[in-house]
Amino acid sequence: DGDAESADPEPSPARVVADADVLAADLLAGGDARESLDRLRSHSWTTLVASDPLLDDATAVIGDLADADLASDWRAAVESWREPVAHPAGDHPALASAYRGGAMQVVSLDPSLTNPQAAAGLRDRMPVSVREPRAFAAVFSPDRLYPEVVGGEYPGPDRDPRSLEPVQ
């Protein structure tokens, strides 16, 4: 239903927001967007943080580029994966999701978010990095992150990125 807990979660590099353009590209085009999100889907200890307005935007893009049935099916599937977060109306859905959801990373194709000036301005306000999918896939290292976030030795991926089912 999109309601968030009353307290914002602690910022974590394992909590990630994918902007609407990346979510749509993951489904419709694959490539770098899919590779970047597969890194999240492959690990049960990582979290996709997304507000309802963010998913609304992605659903609209998918509906416009493909069809309403695919958009509806995608929305139902992503609902079971994402952690919902609420934010004030009018806020940028990806940035507000990151801020309210403790996500330290945003994956976006929007040049107004990924340019160096935007990055510097955002870091002054909150602990977040915004990267294009290719850059995110290059720097997001589950094996280095696991000991910090979960503890212990990295066991490798524990979910099938296509079904989100545990790896056998």
Q: Do 137 and 36 touch, CB atoms closer than 8 A?
A: yes
* Token pair recorded at residue 112: 């107004």
Q: Do 25 and 35 touch, CB atoms closer than 8 A?
A: no
- pTM for the whole structure: 0.90
User: Pick from 64, 69, 58, 68: which is nearest to 27 by CA?
Assistant: 58
How big is the chain by its Cα radius of gyration, in Å?
Answer: 15
Q: What is the pLDDT of residues 27-83, one digit of tens each?
A: 999 999 999 999 999 999 999 999 999 999 999 999 999 999 999 999 999 999 999
* Amino acid 7: pLDDT: 64
- Per cent of the chain over pLDDT 70 is 95
* Amino acid 8: pLDDT: 74
Give every strand in the sheet of 83-85, ordered side by side.
83-85, 47-51, 12-18, 103-107, 129-131
The CATH code that applies to domain 12-149 is: 3.40.50.1010
Strands (E), the chain: 12-18, 47-51, 83-85, 103-107, 129-131
Grade residue 168 by pLDDT with cuts at 50, 70 and 90: low
As a whole number, the mean pLDDT across the chain is: 91
The count of residues in the chain is: 168
Q: Do 8 and 102 touch, CB atoms closer than 8 A?
A: yes
Rounded average pLDDT over 111-118: 86
Neighbouring CB atoms inside 10 A of 108's CB total 22
Can you give the residue ranges of every domain in the chain? 12-149
Residues 43 and 20: their CA atoms lie apart, in Å, by 21
Residues 46 and 145: their CA atoms lie apart, in Å, by 10
